[in-house]
Amino acid sequence: MITRRARNWLKWAATIALTVLVLGLAAATWYFSGLIDDGLLQSEAWVPDRNVEVSAIGPTWVSVSVTEDSIAPGVWGIEWEGGYAEVGPILALTAETVDRELIAVDGNLVPGTMVAWDPFAFRTDPADRGVGYTTVDVAGPLGDYPAWYVPGDDDTWVVFVHGKGASPREALRLLSSVSRAGYPTLVITYRNDEGAPATSDGRYTLGNDEWEDLEAAVEYALASGARDVVLVGYSMGGSITSTFMRESRWAPRVVGMVMDAPLLNAGAAVDNDAESQGIPGFLTGWAKAITALRWGIDWGYLDHLGHTEELEGLPMLIFHGTADSTVPIWTSDAFAEALPDDVEYIRVDGVEHVRAWNHDPGAYEQAVADFLDDIAAGTSAIEFETGGTDSESGGS
């Protein structure tokens, strides 16, 4: 028989245990919301991870240590202190080293150098791709946003929107082929980018606010001679362009979108990351709710899969790698399935996040060229009525 004293002790112990459990779950939820902030909202620039060692170098080849990145097929950049090189296909592979074609070198590359593998493939600006350009200022909601402008003969402009933690440099892979085809291009920045206006907290909103910066760039293009535009969005840039299409008065002037590993459901990306870390689903849900309260992230609004009807009739080309560990590929699968008449969908086997171009530059560029040819032909004859005339666009 349990004494009254024992019963009281058990109640006290149970209360303490429950309190500890609740406090522990609350602390874990708060901590995980901080991880979401660090991984998804903080606007931190790319920091090179120089974890690949150069073992030998020749006039047309370079030998480096084997890593998951260094044995990926295709075209890549390698970065080191004071230098940059472009490398191509694999020439030879052993258990410890991989030899790759050396396409171009800028700087002193010698054995023993530690280099970072860079999917953006080109070092600084359009000049690295032999493309003439000027830097222009786009007047936007927070101030002036620098952008690269490449002139062209067509009246369809292509506007590039980079992803989270990236920079306009992300567009360099595709830029030269689009420019050669005669399309004027605008490679934009948005809030919290280097050189662009910053918000008070320095955080991304994953398209909730950044679409307004894209709108300013589209206004600039329309005021500068564009008849219509094509939007190209990488990763978070896919969320920004999709939000723009739902919110902007200039959406009718967009004749097509190209998206690479687009962030079509930000909440799903959080779920995917949490699952890979073994975090329970209920805790992920609570952490997302805390993130919404702390930083105003509207996960439902950022679920573009729930708003596909607003994009019906817009031609879209989507690339997504099946090995993407950042943005789950099922989101692009679902998006393409919801819009079968509008989406041309290219799944690239075994490819990580926004690396489809690197895997096969020729095939990627040809797919984009064919898409642009299809949607840009004849658009000059269309009379647009929504939003006023070009002279009323308000661009600078």
DSSP 292-317: HHHH---TTTTBGGGGGGGGTT--EE
Tell me if residue 372 falls in helix, strand or coil. helix
Name the DSSP letter for residue 389. Answer: -
Question: Once rounded to an integer, what is the mean pLDDT over residues 364-382?
Answer: 79
| Spatial strand order in the sheet of 316-321 | 134-140, 143-150, 185-187, 156-161, 228-234, 254-260, 316-321, 343-348
Does residue 380 carry a pLDDT above 60? no
Cβ neighbours of residue 381 under 8 Å, at least 6 residues apart? none
- What's residue 23's pLDDT? 43
Strands 228-234 and 185-187: unpaired
Burial class from Cβ neighbours inside 10 Å (0-12, 13-18, 19+) for residue 92 reads exposed
Cα within 13 Å of Cα(66), Cβ side: 8
Distance CA(101)–CA(97), nearest Å, equals: 13
Distance CA(295)–CA(43), nearest Å, equals: 14
Class of domain 126-265+302-377: alpha beta
Q: 133-184, pLDDT tens digit by residue?
A: 999 999 999 999 999 999 999 999 999 999 998 999 999 999 999 999 999 9
Q: Does domain 52-118 have CATH number 3.30.70?
A: no
Domain ranges of the chain: 52-118, 126-265+302-377
- What's residue 24's pLDDT? 46
Tell me if residue 129 falls in helix, strand or coil. helix
